[in-house]
Amino acid sequence: ETGVTQSPTHLIKTRGQQVTLRCSSQSGHNTVSWYQQALGQGPQFIFQYYREEENGRGNFPPRFSGLQFPNYSSELNVNALELDDSALYLCASSLTGYEQYFGPGTRLTVT
């Protein structure tokens, strides 16, 4: 077990709503990354935070946003949910330059 936790485990939302997913990093890790894993696909990078600032972003629209807090926990916010946002959302924490450790994910279903 990695020590990275995510909440909630499952979530069902309707199209157009907003959602906030939470991640608690492994102790001592200063970098958090978020990924989207659609069914049958590999994880796709959304963005990364280092010391409370976004320092990298993948090919996701601005309605995907995030925060990192001083204790290195993090949030992923998605506005104006679309059906295609249904996926497993993964949080990964790391020390800069080292391997990433993944949490169990939040399964988001948009109806």
Q: Does 105 bind other proteins (CB under 8 A)?
A: yes
- DSSP reduced 3-state for 48: strand
CB atoms within 10 A of CB 14: 10
| Listed residue (22, 74, 27) closest to 53, CA to CA | 74
Q: Does 75 bind other proteins (CB under 8 A)?
A: no
| Residue matched to tokens 């894993």 | 37
DSSP lists the bridge partners of residue 107 as 10, 88
Between 81 and 92, CB nearer to other proteins: 92
Q: Does 60 bind other proteins (CB under 8 A)?
A: no
Q: Does 19 bind other proteins (CB under 8 A)?
A: no
Q: Which residues bind other proteins (CB under 8 A)?
A: 2, 31, 33, 35, 40-45, 48, 50, 55-56, 58, 90, 92, 94, 96-97, 99-105
